């Protein structure tokens, strides 16, 4: 039960950038999105992946790797549609 809640929480926080990615692609603008937010989030998520590797915790690695992928996508789109 507790673990299931953790997994759902992880999936939700990891995929939260997905609607932002879709919105930028649709509207072709993103100037209001903070680049500093994306950079700090990227550093945090990268550290979570490192933490997951050290703890040999696969769910942490996988959800944060997905989050990092979405984060990099958002940064590229943000720089394209500034």
Site for its own copies in 17-56 (CB under 8 A): 17-20, 22-24, 27, 29-34, 36-38, 40-41, 43-45, 47-48, 50-51, 54-55
Least distance CB 52 / its own copies (angstroms)? 9
* Choice between 29 and 80, CB closer to its own copies: 29
Q: Helix 58-80 and helix 2-15: axis angle, to 10°? A: 20
Lookup: tokens for 7: 């997994």
The phi and psi torsions of 81 (rounded to 5 degrees) equal -105, 60
Q: Helix 35-55 and helix 58-80: axis angle, to 10°? A: 160
For residues 25 and 55, is the Cβ–Cβ distance under 8 A? no
Least distance CB 12 / its own copies (angstroms)? 3
Q: Summarize as ranges the residues that interact with its own copies (CB under 8 A).
A: 1-2, 5-6, 8-20, 22-24, 27, 29-34, 36-38, 40-41, 43-45, 47-48, 50-51, 54-55
């Amino acid at each position: 039960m507790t673990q299931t809640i953790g997994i759902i929480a992880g999936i939700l926080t990891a995929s939260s950038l997905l609607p932002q990615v879709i919105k930028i692609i649709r509207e072709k603008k993103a100037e209001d999105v903070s680049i500093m937010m994306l950079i700090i989030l990227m550093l945090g998520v990268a550290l979570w992946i490192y933490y997951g590797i050290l703890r040999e915790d696969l769910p942490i690695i996988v959800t944060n790797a997905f989050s990092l992928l979405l984060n990099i996508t958002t940064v590229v789109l943000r720089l394209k549609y500034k």
